[in-house]
Amino acid sequence: MGIARWFHQLASPPYLFRLAGRLAPWLGISALALLAVGTYGGLVLAPPDYLQGEGFRIIYVHVPSAYIGLMAYVVMAAAAACGFIWRIKLAHAVAASAAPVGASFTFLALVTGAVWGKPMWGTYWQWADARLVSELVLFFLYLGYILLRSSFDDRDKGDRVSAVLAVVGVVNVPIIHFSVEWWSTLHQGPTIARLDAPSITLDMLAPLLIMIAAYTLCFAWLVIRRLQAEILERERGTRWVERLAMEGPA
């Protein structure tokens, strides 16, 4: 009974706004702390790789970015679907907040992948790397969503139309990923080194896990900040916002 009621409260803009405001500092501080620990672990503590030497350390910024890029899309699509099915405007606000953050992390994954690829393959881009190509497609899907949403003057219509696109995208992402994966195995030369630490030991893995956790907290903070701005913009003129303007944010 308590959980159902809490979910209902989440759909109320003032409640979510205040909850977001309270969570934000904790998320921000813990994100920074874990980022510091993870970066130190990745750059200093982790032993150099047998094959890739110190170059493999890029994994600590590449893999978490790729993971967040994908996770953010799922969050965005799920929120958009909730907003569409149950007509919860706040859910659309969450999707709108997650999109640019997810796109940024996907962009980072592509760029760090390219920088990693240059010493490993000799080129900045390698079409035969299925994961990188899948990430490129994901980046295009993000851009499409953001562009479609911004093409509508009516914000509610933009929310709902882009929600359909988000769901279509999320359903297609696994299909696209497996097709690209399969396609790359056809064309992969024997000398292509994959963007991986081939034999990953615990002292290499630990900073990676910490960085993934750090990035997740970072993502949460970024989405919450944007969500707060979205809520205020969408709820302008309502009584609770005017009261907030008088009292100041909690």
Partner 1 sequence: MNTFTSLFARDLKLAARRWSEFSTPLIFFLIVASLFPFALSPDAATLRTVGTGVLWISALLSSLLALDGLFRTDVDDGSMEQLLLSPASLSLLVFAKISAHWVVSGLPLLLLAPLVALSFYLPPAAVPTLVLALLLATPTLSALAAVGAALTVTLRAGGGLIGLLVLPLTSPVLIFGTRATDLAIHGEPAAGALYLLGALAAFCLSLAPLAASAAIRVNLE
Partner 2 sequence: MKEFLAMGGYAAYVWTAYGLTAAVIGLNAWLAQRRYRQALRQIGQGEATRHPHGQPTVRKLS
Nearer to partner 2, 115 or 176 (CB): 115
Build a one-symbol-per-residue string for 180-219: x at contacts with partner 1 by CB under 8 A, - elsewhere. Answer: x-xx--x---------------------------------
Residues 80-119 that bind partner 2 (CB under 8 A): 100-101, 104, 107-108, 111-112, 115-116, 118-119
To the nearest whole angstrom, how small is the minimum distance from the Cβ of residue 189 to partner 2?
A: 22
- Tokens representing 42? 């990745």
Cα separation, 9 vs 90, whole angstroms: 11
To partner 2, the closest distance from the beta carbon of 30 in angstroms equals 14
Residue 49 pairs in a beta bridge with 53
**Residue 46 is encoded by which pair of tokens?**
């982790």
Out of 15, 18, 39, 89, the residue judged to bind partner 2 by CB under 8 A: 39
Considering only the C-alpha atoms of the chain, give the largest distance between any 2 of them, rounded to a whole number of Å.
67
For the window 119-148, what string marks contact with partner 1 as x by the rule CB under 8 A? ------------------x--xx-xx--xx
How far apart CA 136 and CA 147 sit, in angstroms, is 16
**194 lies in the binding site for partner 2 (CB under 8 A):** no
Which partner, partner 2, partner 1, none, binds residue 168 by CB below 5 to 8 Å per kind? partner 1
**Complex with partner 2: residue 119 or 174, whichever CB lies closer:** 119
Q: Go through the chain and tell me how many residues it has.
A: 250
Instruction: Output the CA torsion sign for 116, 184, 138, 125.
Output: positive
With CB under 5 to 8 Å by kind, the binding choice for 39 among partner 2, partner 1, none is: partner 2
Sole residue written with tokens 């405007």: 89
Find the shortest distance in angstroms from Cβ 151 to partner 1. Answer: 5
What is the Cα–Cα distance from 57 to 49, expressed in whole angstroms?
9
Please identify which residue in the block is written with the tokens 């292509």.
192
- 143: burial class by Cβ within 10 Å (0-12, 13-18, 19+)? middle
Eight-class DSSP state of 153: S
Q: Decide: is 33 part of the binding site for partner 1 (CB under 8 A).
A: no
Q: Which spans of this chain sit near partner 1 (rule: CB under 8 A)?
A: 84, 137, 140-141, 143-144, 147-148, 151-152, 157, 160-161, 164-165, 167-169, 171-172, 175-176, 179-180, 182-183, 186
